[in-house]
Amino acid sequence: MISRRKVLPLLVLLSLAGCDRRAGERISTLRIGYQKWGTFSILKASGKLDEAFRPKGIKLEWTEFPAGPPLFEALNAGSIDIGHAGDSPPLFAQAANIPFVYFAVSSSSPESSGILVKNGSAIHTAADLRGRRVGFAKGTSAHTMVLFYLEKNGMAFSDITPIYLPPADGRAALESGAIDAWAIWDPYFAMTQQIGGYRPLTSGRGFVDGREFYFASRRVMETQPQLVTDFRTQLESIKNWAMTHKNDVNRFLAADTGIPQSAVSLAESRRNRYQTQSLTPEVITSQQALADRYFKLGLLPRQIDVKADVWNVTPDGGN
């Protein structure tokens, strides 16, 4: 469950645009939370969103987060308006009564995540993880991947010792022996592979969909849905451009993130998140099944209804 005790320190760290939005208040600054890897990063690096919103009198503020859970904490604290995450963080956010709505989802990209071990590790199958320490960020898509990798190979989550740690700490923990395996997504996945000395035990294929879910605060969506519609339009536009300008994307992301271009190229070669759609019944069903599984395992404090927080944005900004 997302800890609300993190909200105050997060506010101190962020202290972005002051107090929370008031109902009906016209937004002059759109505050966007993004992760180091994701199509939001391409949109940010391109400058296209700034160009589109500047004539509307709207400034942009971008804040980077290491994973989805702290991004949702910032939304709950009123520090951001729009964000993105994998499959698990929105479920934990719903269970914590964080007021947000899904407004779109990307196409699937399961190869963009995996479980890594050292080259010399004795771990070669799921069964070899029994009793081992597996590191991943709690409440993220990596958490989902570990859960289903174990279950689809006849094991239970209780067969491993989960070690919850932020993405930036995973490789050092694996190198030091503090963990035996590390579940992670790109760009950390690609960066570690590029360094050498590590091999994938599995990719995410067959265990996670690897989608980006796009969401906004409920207050912003209910009072100014056109802003979110305009944001989505620009996101789709930059994705269409990215599909035919891969070398430019690699350069953009390398410069924006400080990640070596070789790692960027590897990660981009297996990313397929360039289609965007409203949440379909199939996607909602998949999310609901994951939520129900987490609840049964005692990881969610209550049952949730995924579709209750789904907003279908139409071209004219309605729902």
In a domain, 131, yes or no: yes
Number of domains in the chain: 2
The lowest-confidence range among 18-27, 95-104, 142-151, 191-200 is 18-27
In a domain, 43, yes or no: yes
Best-predicted range by mean pLDDT among 121-130, 208-217, 219-228, 259-268? 121-130
pLDDT at 20 exceeding the cut of 70: no
Q: What is the pLDDT of residue 189?
A: 94
Q: What is the pLDDT of residue 25?
A: 61
11 shares its domain with 97:
yes
Residue where a domain terminates, one of 185, 203, 221: 203
Give the model's confidence band at 41: pLDDT under 50 very low, under 70 low, under 90 confident, else very high: confident
pLDDT at 185 exceeding the cut of 70: yes
Q: What is the pLDDT of residue 314?
A: 39
Mean pLDDT of 271-299: 91
Q: How far apart are CA 176 and CA 98, in angstroms?
A: 37
Helix 261-269 with 246-257: angle, nearest 10 deg: 130
Pick the more confident residue, 117 or 319: 117
160 shares its domain with 300:
no
Contact 310, 94 (CB under 8 A): no
Tell me the DSSP string of 50-113. Answer: HHHHGGGT-EEEEEEESSHHHHHHHHHTTS-SEEEE-SHHHHHHHHTT--EEEEEEEPP-GGGE
In a domain, 176, yes or no: yes
15 shares its domain with 105:
yes
Mean pLDDT of 192-198: 92
222 shares its domain with 103:
yes
In a domain, 184, yes or no: yes
191 shares its domain with 221:
no
Q: How far apart are CA 203 and CA 184, in angstroms?
A: 10
In a domain, 314, yes or no: no
Q: What is the pLDDT of residue 17?
A: 36
102 shares its domain with 12:
yes
Percent of the chain with pLDDT over 70: 90
Range of the domain at 186: 110-203
Give the model's confidence band at 217: pLDDT under 50 very low, under 70 low, under 90 confident, else very high: very high
Question: Three-state SS string across 105-174, please?
Answer: EECCCHHHEEEEEECCCCCCCHHHHCCCEEEECCCCHHHHHHHHHHHCCCCCHHHCEEEECCHHHHHHHH
> Residue 137 is part of a domain; what is its CATH number?
3.40.190.10
Identify the burial level of 200 via C-beta atoms within 10 angstroms of its C-beta, where 0-12 means exposed, 13-18 middle and 19 or more buried: middle
Q: pLDDT tens, 255-278?
A: 877 889 999 899 888 888 788 999
Which residue's structure tokens are 């509307």?
56
Contact 134, 180 (CB under 8 A): yes
Non-local (6+) Cβ contacts of 246 within 8 A are 268
Q: What is the pLDDT of residue 135?
A: 98
Mean pLDDT of 164-183: 95
Q: What is the pLDDT of residue 22?
A: 52
Residue where a domain terminates, one of 186, 203, 220: 203
The phi, psi pair for 171, rounded to 5°, reads: -65, -40
Mean pLDDT of 237-251: 90
In whole numbers, what is the pLDDT of the chain averaged over residues? 87
Q: What is the pLDDT of residue 19?
A: 39
Tell me the DSSP string of 211-269. Answer: PPEEEEEHHHHHH-HHHHHHHHHHHHHHHHHHHT-HHHHHHHHHHHH---HHHHHHHHH
In a domain, 126, yes or no: yes
Q: What is the pTM of this model?
A: 0.82
Q: What is the pLDDT of residue 8?
A: 32
With H, G, I as helix, E, B as strand and everything else as coil, classify residue 294: helix
In a domain, 316, yes or no: no
Q: What is the pLDDT of residue 319?
A: 44
The lowest-confidence range among 24-38, 99-113, 168-182 is 24-38
pLDDT at 161 exceeding the cut of 80: yes
Tell me the DSSP string of 164-182. Answer: E--HHHHHHHHHHTS-SEE
Q: What is the pLDDT of residue 54?
A: 94
Residue where a domain terminates, one of 176, 203, 230: 203
Overall residue count recorded for the chain in this entry: 319
Give the model's confidence band at 254: pLDDT under 50 very low, under 70 low, under 90 confident, else very high: confident
In a domain, 195, yes or no: yes
Q: How far apart are CA 81 and CA 30, in angstroms?
A: 7
What tokens does 182 get? Answer: 């590390």
Q: How far apart are CA 175 and CA 199, in angstroms?
A: 12
Classify residue 307 by its DSSP letter. G
Classify residue 304 by its DSSP letter. -
Mean pLDDT of 22-44: 82
98 shares its domain with 219:
yes
